[in-house]
Amino acid sequence: MEFDVEKLRPMDTYKLMAALIVPRPIAWTVTQSIDGTLNAAPFSFFNVMSGTPPVVVLGLGSHSGREHDSTRNIRETAEFVINLVAETQIEAMSFTSGTFDPDVDELQLAGIPLIASSKVKPPRIAGSPASFECERMITLEVGPQSVVILGRVVAIHVRDELMQDASKFYVDAQKLHLVARMGSGGWYGRTRDTFELPA
Ligand SMILES: Cc1cc2nc3c(=O)[nH]c(=O)nc-3n(C[C@H](O)[C@H](O)[C@H](O)COP(=O)(O)O)c2cc1C
């Protein structure tokens, strides 16, 4: 079946893209407004785009015609922290995707423990398997209500027990137990079903 994007409603194009480009990792993103209010929200339009330099990408849309608080905070402060989501964090992560006024700190509301970051102002989420401190490199306005943000990773945190051999920078993928977004709505996948193809 072929779909001509020019003839589709934007929501239908989104539905096809989101349902087909899976699984997507989830960037549970912590930002801080210029007046110091913290914000957290999950974004699955997320991935690594370059190893050297280390660059990640976020795709941020809008909600009811209003830009996300995360978008505004990143525009105004140029800093954010991406936290990966463990299976044990799925409900807290989902809670932070709710619509809150810009002056509401959903991390505090949900009682999510935080740890100070090393190089950027927004803190990281204590229970996350790994966190990436990022500085904004480029913002592309790809549509009237859609931005793509490239972030340079300036610090990486991994929980000690997830490192297989820290001297070689090997992560134990079997222990990560991350969740990924499948489609949209409430569908998720797990990263437990891995296998090795002998070289
Ligand atoms: C698992 C998950 C993934 C999401 N991914 C995205 C995304 O990639 N881009 C986006 O604009 N919104 C995404 N959303 C919706 C935002 O998280 C939601 O609109 C949130 O309220 C934005 O928060 P903010 O205004 O505090 O930044 C996602 C929601 C969930 C639950």
Centre of ligand 1 to C-alpha 139, Å, is 17
| Ligand 1 binding pocket includes 92 (Cβ within 6 Å) | no
Closest ligand 1 atom to residue 58 Cα is 8
Residue 26 beta carbon below 6 angstroms from any ligand 1 atom: yes
141: domain CATH number is 2.30.110.10
Ligand 1 touching residue 32 (CB < 6 A): no
Mutate to test the pocket of ligand 1, among 97, 106, 145 (most ligand atoms within 8 A of CB): 97
The answer as to whether 26 is a domain residue is: yes
Task: List, in sequence order, every residue forming a beta bridge with 141; answer none if it has no partner.
Answer: 147
For residues 2-21, average pLDDT? 97
- Residue 152 identity: R
Q: By alpha-carbon position, which residue is closest to atom 13 of ligand 1?
A: 43
Position 195 in a domain: no
Assigned domain for 199 exists: no
Please compute, for residue 127, the number of CA atoms within 13 A of its CA located in the half-sphere on the CB side.
15
How many Å apart are CA 196 and CA 199, to the nearest integer? Answer: 9
Percent of the chain having pLDDT more than 70? 100
Would you say 32 and 69 are in contact if contact means Cβ atoms under 8 Å apart? Answer: no
Instruction: For residue 197, tell me if it sits in a domain.
Output: no
Report whether residue 31 contacts ligand 1, using a CB cutoff of 6 Å: no
pLDDT digits (tens, 9 = 90+) for 94-121: 999 998 888 888 899 999 999 999 999 9
Q: Is the pLDDT of residue 86 over 90?
A: yes
How far is residue 59's CA from residue 161's CA, in Å, rounded to a whole number?
31
User: pLDDT tens-digit profile of 27-67?
Assistant: 999 999 999 999 999 999 999 999 999 999 999 999 888 99
Which residues form the domain of 17? Answer: 5-190
pTM score, whole prediction:
0.97
Is the pLDDT confidence value at 165 over 90?
yes
Residue 100 DSSP symbol: -
pLDDT of residue 146: 96
Q: What is the Cα–Cα distance from 101 to 34, expressed in whole angstroms?
A: 15
Assigned domain for 152 exists:
yes
Nearest alpha carbon, ligand 1 atom 18 = 97
198 within domain boundaries: no
Maximum separation of any 2 CA atoms in the chain, in Å? 54
How many angstroms is it from 59 CA to the middle of ligand 1?
A: 9
Q: Strand, helix or coil at 133? A: strand
> For the chain, what is the domain count?
1
Cα–ligand 1 centroid distance for 165 (angstroms)? 34
